[in-house]
Amino acid sequence: MTTLSKLPAPLLAWYGAGHRSLPWRQEVSPYRTWVSEIMLQQTRVAAVIPYFERFMAALPTVEALAAVDEPTLLSLWQGLGYYNRARNLRLAAKKIVGFHGGQFPHTYEEIRMLPGVGDYTAGAIASIAFSLPTPAVDGNVLRVVARLTDCHDNVLAPATRRRVTEELAAVIPHDHPGDFNQALMELGATVCLPNTEPKCAECPCRGFCQGFAHGTAASLPVREKKEGRRKEEKTVFILRSGEYEAVRYRGEEGLLASLWEYPNVAGTLTESEAAAQLTAWNVTPHKWVKKAKSKHIFTHIQWIMKGVYLEVSEAAGDFHWFTAEEINTQAALPTAFRQFWDLEETQHV
């Protein structure tokens, strides 16, 4: 008997005895499972819950999602980050309505073909919403399996992920595949924790866990170092004229496409360079309010940002001038810029 073949019974018993009550688990449908899994990509459960509930209230069906306009869609996603997830949701909804007659596809292969759906998400939807015995292997599951089997292979290598997927496919219970996948995710999220000591004393798998038996669990999984992110410096201008702030549209292409931003330029400008930039924009400041520093991390890039807060005499320049309320409803301002609302003044930027 392999270590993983011992997993289903105690794991399902533990999950059945009590697990987190999450809105997408209370009422299961392919649509709700799909939207929740897309939101949960790269995002913590606690952060997703209010977004999920708001999204479902506004767009309760796949037809409603297919028909929504992009500004409304992005405003529902505002603050959640990785906005291509929202765009792919809508693209996929159009495909489901136009190509599948509004019926959510119900084979792993068809689900995997939807925009924005990868192996993990397809496995999760197929197992949770359609009871198909498909593993759902993400970083959490790779960590738990590496510890359970005391495996020191690099979990970032595609070959390791393929092998773990095959091993789980051989043991996933065909009568409860969705519960099995969710139980494994739950174990990784609440007991076999990342970046810290796992809570082995509370774990239903402790009796056969090889990482626990050999004292190696906390050092697993092995992850080869990723290449560092490219750093880009920016100076961001928060220009206020009365209750209005200057924003501009970022355009249809590239990073944060179709979103809005505060006016900004590459590099960390000195005060005189910033003044020259304002002149170039035909903007006349009458008060330099404060400066602040911030950073924002994307998948491959890190922005190091200096924020310059100014009051200007008139709403001039080639910008849109919106109130805070109008920014909230008409201009999806991503977190990279929105965070400047909350920053304290710093002297050394």
Residue 190 Cβ, how far from ligand SF4 at the closest point, in Å?
Answer: 10
Q: Which is nearer to ligand SF4, 126 or 144 (CB)?
A: 144
Token pair, residue 346, equals 């710093």
* Residue 333 three-state SS: coil
Widest pairwise Cα distance in the chain: 77
Residue 187 Cβ, how far from ligand SF4 at the closest point, in Å?
Answer: 7
**Which member of 105, 135, 177, 198 binds ligand SF4 (CB under 6 A)?**
198
Which stretch in 32-40, 74-82, 208-216, 312-320 sits in contact with ligand SF4 by CB under 6 A? 208-216
Q: Which is nearer to ligand SF4, 221 or 263 (CB)?
A: 221
Q: Which of 27, 37, 110, 271 is catalytic?
A: 37
Tell me the β-bridge partners of 287.
Answer: 311
Active site residue 110: no
**Which member of 116, 211, 221, 263 binds ligand SF4 (CB under 6 A)?**
211
Residue 315 Cβ, how far from ligand SF4 at the closest point, in Å?
Answer: 57
Which stretch in 74-82, 195-203, 245-253, 328-336 sits in contact with ligand SF4 by CB under 6 A? 195-203
**Which member of 128, 137, 144, 308 binds ligand SF4 (CB under 6 A)?**
144
Backbone angles phi, psi at 61, to 5 degrees: -135, 165
Q: Is 147 a binder of ligand SF4 (CB under 6 A)?
A: yes
Strands 320-322 and 264-266, sheet pairing = unpaired
Q: Is 145 a binder of ligand SF4 (CB under 6 A)?
A: no
**Which member of 38, 59, 76, 191 binds ligand SF4 (CB under 6 A)?**
191
| Burial (CB count within 10 angstroms: exposed 0-12, middle 13-18, buried 19+), residue 270 | exposed
Q: Is 200 a binder of ligand SF4 (CB under 6 A)?
A: yes
Backbone angles phi, psi at 206, to 5 degrees: -60, -35
Q: How many residues does the chain have?
A: 349
**Which member of 205, 256, 269, 292 binds ligand SF4 (CB under 6 A)?**
205
Residue 166 Cβ, how far from ligand SF4 at the closest point, in Å?
Answer: 20
Instruction: Please compute, for residue 320, the number of CA atoms within 13 A of its CA located in the half-sphere on the CB side.
Output: 16
**Rounded Cα–Cα distance for residues 241 and 232 (Å):** 29
Cα–Cα distance list, 201 to 150, 192, 256, 258, 308 (Å): 17, 10, 44, 48, 51
Query: Using only C-alpha atoms, what is the Rg of the chain?
Result: 24
Tell me the β-bridge partners of 222.
Answer: 154
Q: Which is nearer to ligand SF4, 15 or 260 (CB)?
A: 15
Instruction: Quickly tell me which residue has 């306009």 as its tokens.
Output: 69
Token pair, residue 128, equals 């949770």
Q: Which is nearer to ligand SF4, 4 or 49 (CB)?
A: 4
Q: Which residues bind ligand SF4 (CB under 6 A)?
A: 144, 147-148, 191-192, 198-200, 203, 205-206, 209, 211-212, 217
- Which are the catalytic amino acids? 37
